[in-house]
Amino acid sequence: MKSQHYSEQTEGTWLALEIGNSRLHWALFHGKSLNCTWDTEYLPESVIQQLGDWGAEEQRGRGAEEQRSRGSSIYPFPFPLSPFPFPLLLASVVPQQTAIWQSYPNVRVITLEDIPLNNIYPTLGIDRALALWGAGMSWGFPMLVIDAGTALTFTAADGDKNLVGGAILPGMGLQLASLGQKTGQLPQLEVEEIQLPPRFALNTPQAMQSGVIYTLLAGIKDFIDEWWRLFPDGKVAMKGGDRNLLLSYLQELYPAIASRLIVEPNLIFWGMQKISMSR
Ligand SMILES: Nc1ncnc2c1ncn2[C@@H]1O[C@H](COP(=O)(O)OP(=O)(O)O)[C@@H](O)[C@H]1O
Ligand SMILES: CC(C)(COP(=O)(O)O)[C@@H](O)C(=O)NCCC(=O)O
Ligand SMILES: [K+]
């Protein structure tokens, strides 16, 4: 569990949770200021229920630190929380997970209605809408967001905050995993922080890496080229667990594109911040 600096201030403190298809993404806010972020695995339902119990214990005067040592070993916070439970703003693209988080004592689930983009279609992923809103409101529209997560998504809005649309494809991890799972002879590979593989590979793992990486990069370049043809001054922001690896490859293969990218892991949290401020 990786965390940034945490300060001991609790006034107007709230938690933001984005539930992706691979893991949970957390942020702690004091009012509108983002204090720290961290990622965890999905939590067992019993732990989520325990969070409410911890809140009650806290009110009876037991410290969160003590609860952490007594309680479950799966304590989801990189610091003691007190007073607890903080209000939780939740955005999820995993309905089963959304359902089990309803037991959290003070939760508000963000829906597409909360996001002031025009032309949204009803099944648009809330993570895509929030990231686009957070990026556009922070860096300006027109904005194209590339989310290099479980799925790799492109999501764009024009200068009037109208959704232009986007695209969805399997992310790097998913492409490698599906090759391993759906074939008889290909190994299970995971995303590794490796140098660009040889384009024409002479062994199986490198052939899989070459195929996935070079076609992914060519596809990203093609979408960005088309975006700039439509919106020459349009901005491009990239987020998601594979963003840094993809950025390093883009810097090597397409430096002119890489130099114009805004790479920012917290786009969804900026979107949540804007929404929480306008309520
Ligand atoms: N600790 C980790 N757990 C899972 N995925 C990780 C981790 N660190 C890096 N990744 C990369 O992040 C990608 C998933 O991106 P992420 O933005 O976390 O997904 P999601 O938001 O869909 O849950 C995977 O393809 C993987 O390569
Ligand atoms: C495309 C997604 C699966 C991406 O999820 P992620 O990889 O970020 O976990 C998610 O945004 C989703 O379920 N979208 C609904 C369909 C749509 O956006 O059109
Ligand atoms: K995501």
pLDDT in tens, 183-209: 999 999 999 999 999 999 999 999 999
Confidence of residue 3 (pLDDT cuts 50, 70, 90): very low
Is this prediction's pTM over 0.90? yes
Cβ of 136 closer than 6 Å to ligand 1, yes or no, is no
Q: Is the model's pLDDT at 111 over the cut of 50?
A: yes
Measure CA 247 to chain center. 16
Q: Sign (positive/negative) of CA torsion 89, 83, 102, 24? A: positive
- Is the beta carbon of 173 within 6 A of some atom in ligand 2? no
Catalytic residues: 127
Whole-complex ipTM: 0.98
User: Would you say residue 7 has pLDDT above 60?
Assistant: no
Token pair for 172: 């790097």
Other CB atoms within 10 A of residue 7 CB: 11
Q: Cβ(85) to ligand 2 under 6 A?
A: no
* 23 labeled part of a ligand binding site: yes
Alpha-carbon distance 206 to 195, whole Å? 11
Q: From the CA of 126, which ligand is nearest?
A: 2
pLDDT of residue 147: 99
Q: What is the DSSP string of 77-125?
A: -SS--SS-PPPEEEEES-HHHHHHHTTSTTEEE--GGGS--BS--TT--
Q: Is the pLDDT of residue 235 over 90?
A: yes
Residue 65 alpha carbon to ligand 3 centre in Å? 31
- Ligand 1 atom at shortest distance from the alpha carbon of 190: 27
Report the alpha-carbon distance of residue 26 to residue 244 in Å, rounded: 19
Alpha carbon distance 37, 23 (integer Å): 13
Tell me the average pLDDT of the chain. Answer: 91
Distance 12 CA to ligand 1 centre (A): 30
